[in-house]
């Protein structure tokens, strides 16, 4: 607790950390250390700030007094569990759930538990226990039941509306909407979804009104993305739209306080359109659609009556104000102009909208928080996310796009070391994980910045299969692990060489998760292009992927694997670096977490064994005890990246 207090006070007490001399190389720890804050939310009356703080394998919830950032209370769960999502349910009370962290490349997993506590730590209450009805019915077990907050109910300090998801079969889960008492834990069911695998949206009166139901299989039991939109009328659900009928996926995004229904329509070809839905006629009226990128974020008015803007991220974030005349849109534009070249977000705000927590970040700035006061018209600095790093000394990130060999347009980012002319640099190609859905973006990336601080340019590419560019682009990555995706990575690398950014004789490839797979597969596909490869928590054998790890434990996971890899064992072998180790032909280093449930450590051990049998044993291998799918412990991260940099320096370091 003392360390947390010290961290919080250090972050809030100064505008910037003491800066090292320009010629001093910042330590690896400076880049991989935990940030000063995570998610930040102001209380409804503005008296408190609630902030998640990362302690490595556990996140805690700290409450500060807004006026002076003095620490009021630190909420820490027993048993190593982390605080996950949290919400203010009244000016004095917080609601939060518990999660288990399973690695830096995998999202935390809900435990099913929810808790409530006052800002000062009084009246702590466990509200929902995993496997039980509620805090007053602990003997009535319900397997696999999880809750999500739908609305904290303005003007109601005692109740919230939640959605509960419980397993009904091996294939799906059923949803219900309940009203939960945050003092007693009692709950009242308000509605049940029309079928399995649905999410429910509330109307302007905070009553269950819409259900978006999805399925990942077709009539033959194989993978097919389908969706249906229902509306609750008179106690029964009415089907409004089915993608299987017209090929369009329609979903309700949000219903504002004045009853406007905002929706998203996706034809599976272009990125989805955002618009409004007329419930009388069923007409969807588009408000915004980008030809290249999906909407990555929505900017809502503080009174919850209007969508005032949207954000897209094909390259650097682009903000499009939908309702430019709204006072909040004008305020947003004013704040954005004050932080030119950076991204501005309304992170949270008081119930009356008079005080707003403003988050600011950029490619060079890890993040800062400001408190904007409408009454004074001033934005006061609160804290820095990584105060030990000076944005003025960080690398710049250049968005780019190129045409792949098959004519597809692919986007990416090139991190160029600070002070460099950006020409003929040693290059680290860094494919992201996934590969279906995740993506790289323009925001500050501590890993890429670390590499750049040592003189390396870093290339990241949103290859086919990446998220953010629409369903068709995402689906183009299926059954393309070893072909189309690797082609995109190789083509992007050649783009960097042809445009003079990279020295073709000094390029290595490194990645984590699927990026680890690519780190070993790309050299097979493009012999001689890379001088070394570092694979981190990677998958190297497709057959093993079908048998070990958490993905094949569910039928939906196996369906996904069949869609992504097919069922031909010969094809699996052709797309498995461990089966083609003799073709790697360059120095390799490997690292994995000993407790990884996604890319099990046996994957890394098999790759190492295959390389050794091929006469090219890895220069080293780390199987880190206690770590899972991505390392959390700072000392372990320092060791990993120190080893990685030494490996790169041996093979493509400064000449």
Question: Given the DSSP bridges, would you call strands 425-429 and 502-512 parallel, antiparallel or unpaired?
Answer: parallel
Answer whether residue 19 shows pLDDT above 70.
Answer: no
User: Binning pLDDT at 50, 70 and 90, where does residue 215 land?
Assistant: confident
DSSP 190: E
- Tell me, letter by letter, the H, E, C secondary structure of 298-332: EEECCCCCCEEEEEECCCCCEEEECCCCCHHHHHH
CB contact at 8 A, 125 and 135: yes
pLDDT value of residue 56: 76
User: Binning pLDDT at 50, 70 and 90, where does residue 216 land?
Assistant: confident
Answer whether residue 421 shows pLDDT above 90.
Answer: yes
Query: Which of 215, 341, 225, 294 minimizes the C-alpha distance to 469?
Result: 294
Query: Which of 641, 652, 591, 624 minimizes the C-alpha distance to 26?
Result: 641
Q: Which residues, in sequence order, are bridge partners of residue 309? A: 299, 321
pLDDT value of residue 165: 87
List the single range of 55-64, 260-269, 331-340, 577-586 with lowest mean pLDDT. Answer: 55-64
Residue found by looking up tokens 């695998």 in the block: 197
How many angstroms separate the CA atoms of 61 and 94, rounded?
Answer: 10
Phi then psi for residue 485, to 5 deg, are -65, -45
Residue found by looking up tokens 């299926």 in the block: 478
Residues 6+ apart with CB under 8 A from 23: none
User: Binning pLDDT at 50, 70 and 90, where does residue 219 land?
Assistant: low
C-alpha triplet 342, 347, 348: angle, nearest 5°: 155
b/e per residue 196-230 (b: at least 16 CB within 10 A): bbbbbbbbeebebbbbbbbbbbeeeeebebebbbb
User: Binning pLDDT at 50, 70 and 90, where does residue 410 land?
Assistant: very high
pLDDT value of residue 273: 97
How many angstroms separate the CA atoms of 262 and 373, rounded?
Answer: 29
Span 408-415, average pLDDT:
98
Would the CA dihedral through 449, 454, 457, 462 be positive or negative? Answer: negative
Span 420-441, average pLDDT:
97
> 271-277, long-range: CB within 8 Å, 24+ apart, which pairs?
271/295, 271/469, 271/470, 272/470, 272/471, 274/298, 274/307, 274/310, 277/250, 277/252
Span 298-317, average pLDDT:
96
Radius of gyration of the chain (CA): 25
pTM over 0.85, yes/no = yes
How many angstroms separate the CA atoms of 117 and 325, rounded?
Answer: 40
pLDDT value of residue 168: 59
Answer whether residue 140 shows pLDDT above 50.
Answer: no
Side-chain half-sphere CA neighbours of 486 within 13 A: 22
Phi then psi for residue 267, to 5 deg, are -90, 5
CA of 237: how far to CAs of 19, 172, 200, 439, in Å? 61, 19, 12, 36
Answer whether residue 2 shows pLDDT above 70.
Answer: no
Span 332-352, average pLDDT:
96
Span 303-326, average pLDDT:
96
List the single range of 9-23, 96-110, 267-281, 346-360 with lowest mean pLDDT. Answer: 9-23
Residue found by looking up tokens 């998203």 in the block: 264
Residues 6+ apart with CB under 8 A from 37: 8, 11, 51, 52, 53, 369, 383, 385
Phi then psi for residue 228, to 5 deg, are -140, 140
Average pLDDT across the chain, whole number:
91
Answer whether residue 134 shows pLDDT above 90.
Answer: no
Side-chain half-sphere CA neighbours of 67 within 13 A: 3
CB contact at 8 A, 308 and 323: yes
CA of 31: how far to CAs of 36, 454, 537, in Å? 12, 12, 20
DSSP 222: S
pLDDT value of residue 244: 75
- The tokens of 583 are what? 């073709």
pLDDT value of residue 178: 96
Summarised one tens digit per residue, pLDDT across range 353-389 is 999 999 999 999 999 999 999 999 999 999 999 999 9
Span 196-225, average pLDDT:
83
How many angstroms separate the CA atoms of 402 and 505, rounded?
Answer: 22
pLDDT value of residue 69: 94
CB contact at 8 A, 336 and 354: no
Summarised one tens digit per residue, pLDDT across range 477-520 is 999 999 999 999 999 999 999 999 999 999 999 999 999 999 99
Span 387-397, average pLDDT:
97
- The tokens of 634 are what? 């700072």
Answer whether residue 139 shows pLDDT above 70.
Answer: no
Q: How many residues does the chain have?
A: 655
pLDDT value of residue 133: 45
Question: Given the DSSP bridges, would you call strands 588-593 and 249-255 parallel, antiparallel or unpaired?
Answer: unpaired
Q: Which residues, in sequence order, are bridge partners of residue 174? A: 166, 196
CB contact at 8 A, 613 and 88: no
**SS3 category, 78:** helix
Task: Please give the order of strands across the beta sheet that includes 261-266.
Answer: 249-255, 261-266, 273-277, 284-288
Fold of 395-652: Rossmann fold (3.40.50)
Share of the chain above pLDDT 70, in %: 92
Q: What are the sequence ranges of the domains in the chain?
A: 395-652
pLDDT value of residue 13: 36
> 207-215, long-range: CB within 8 Å, 24+ apart, which pairs?
208/177, 208/232, 209/255, 210/252, 210/255, 211/175, 211/237, 212/251, 212/252
Answer whether residue 23 shows pLDDT above 60.
Answer: no
- The tokens of 612 are what? 């050794």
Cis peptide before 592 (omega within 30 of 0): no
| Percent composition of the chain: helix, strand, coil (DSSP 3-state, to 5) | 20, 35, 40
Residue found by looking up tokens 């999660």 in the block: 99
Answer whether residue 31 shows pLDDT above 60.
Answer: yes
CA of 527: how far to CAs of 505, 522, 530, in Å? 13, 8, 7
Answer whether residue 3 shows pLDDT above 50.
Answer: no
Share of the chain above pLDDT 90, in %: 82
Side-chain half-sphere CA neighbours of 642 within 13 A: 11
Span 121-133, average pLDDT:
79
Q: Which residues, in sequence order, are bridge partners of residue 517? A: none
User: Binning pLDDT at 50, 70 and 90, where does residue 77 land?
Assistant: very high
Summarised one tens digit per residue, pLDDT across range 551-573 is 999 888 898 999 999 999 999 99
Summarised one tens digit per residue, pLDDT across range 604-628 is 999 999 999 999 999 999 999 999 9
């Amino acid at each position: 607790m003392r360390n947390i207090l010290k961290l919080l006070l250090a972050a809030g007490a100064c505008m910037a950390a003491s800066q090292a001399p320009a010629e001093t190389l910042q330590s690896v720890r400076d880049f991989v250390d935990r940030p000063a804050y995570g998610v930040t939310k102001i209380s409804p009356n503005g008296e408190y700030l609630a902030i998640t703080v990362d302690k490595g394998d556990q996140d805690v919830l700290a409450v500060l007094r807004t006026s002076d950032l003095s620490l009021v209370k630190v909420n820490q769960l027993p048993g190593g569990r982390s605080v996950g999502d949290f919400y203010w349910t009244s000016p004095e009370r917080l609601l939060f759930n518990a999660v288990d962290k399973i690695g830096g490349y995998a999202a935390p997993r809900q435990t099913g538990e929810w808790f409530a506590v006052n800002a000062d730590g009084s009246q702590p209450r466990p509200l929902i226990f995993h496997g039980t009805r509620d805090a007053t019915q602990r003997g009535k077990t319900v397997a696999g039941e999880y809750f999500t907050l739908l609305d904290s109910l303005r003007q109601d300090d005692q109740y919230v509306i939640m959605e509960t998801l419980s397993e009904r079969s091996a294939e799906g889960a059923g949803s219900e909407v309940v009203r939960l008492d945050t003092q007693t834990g009692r709950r009242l069911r308000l509605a049940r979804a029309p079928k399995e695998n649905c999410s429910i949206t509330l109307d302007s009166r905070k009553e269950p009104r819409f259900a978006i139901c999805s399925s990942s299989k077709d009539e033959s039991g194989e993978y097919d993305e389908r969706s249906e939109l229902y509306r609750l009328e008179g106690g029964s659900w009415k089907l409004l739209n089915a993608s299987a009928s017209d090929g369009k996926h329609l979903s309700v995004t949000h219903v504002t306080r004045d009853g406007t229904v905002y929706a998203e329509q996706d034809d599976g070809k272009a990125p989805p359109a955002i618009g409004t839905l007329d419930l009388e006629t069923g007409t969807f009226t588009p408000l915004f659609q980008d030809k290249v990128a999906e909407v990555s974020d929505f900017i809502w008015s503080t009174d919850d009556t209007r969508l005032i803007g949207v954000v897209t991220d094909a390259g650097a974030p682009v903000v499009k104000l939908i309702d430019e005349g709204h006072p909040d849109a004008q305020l947003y534009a004013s704040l954005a102009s004050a932080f030119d070249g950076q991204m501005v977000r309304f992170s949270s705000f008081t119930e009356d909208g008079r005080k707003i927590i403003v988050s600011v970040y950029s490619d060079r700035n890890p993040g800062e928080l400001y408190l904007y006061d409408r009454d004074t018209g001033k934005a006061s600095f609160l804290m820095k996310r990584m105060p030990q790093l000076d944005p003025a000394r960080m690398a710049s990130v250049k968005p780019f796009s190129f045409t792949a060999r098959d004519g597809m347009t692919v986007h990416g980012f090139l991190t160029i070391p600070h002070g460099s002319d950006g020409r003929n640099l040693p290059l680290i190609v860094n494919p992201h994980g996934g590969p279906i859905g995740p993506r790289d973006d323009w925001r500050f990336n501590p890993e890429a910045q670390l590499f750049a601080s040592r003189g390396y340019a870093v290339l990241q590419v949103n290859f086919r299969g990446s998220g953010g560019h629409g369903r068709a682009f995402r689906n183009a990555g299926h059954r393309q692990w070893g072909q189309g995706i690797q082609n995109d990575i190789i083509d992007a690398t050649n783009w960097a060489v042809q445009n003079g950014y990279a020295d073709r004789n000094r390029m290595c490839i490194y990645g984590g998760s699927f990026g680890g797979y690519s780190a070993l597969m790309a050299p097979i596909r493009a012999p001689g292009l890379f001088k070394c490869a570092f694979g981190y928590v990677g998958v190297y054998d497709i057959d093993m992927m079908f048998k070990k790890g958490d993905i094949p434990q569910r039928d939906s996971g196996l369906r996904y694997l069949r869609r992504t890899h097919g069922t031909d064992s010969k094809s699996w072998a052709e797309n498995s670096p461990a089966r083609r180790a003799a073709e790697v032909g360059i120095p390799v280093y490997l690292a994995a977490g000993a407790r990884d449930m996604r890319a099990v450590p046996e994957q890394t051990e098999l790759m190492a064994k295959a390389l050794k049998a091929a006469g090219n044993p890895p220069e080293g291998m780390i199987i880190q005890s206690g770590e899972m799918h991505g390392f959390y412990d700072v000392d372990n991260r320092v060791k990993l990246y120190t080893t990685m940099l030494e490996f790169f320096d041996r093979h493509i370091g400064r000449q």
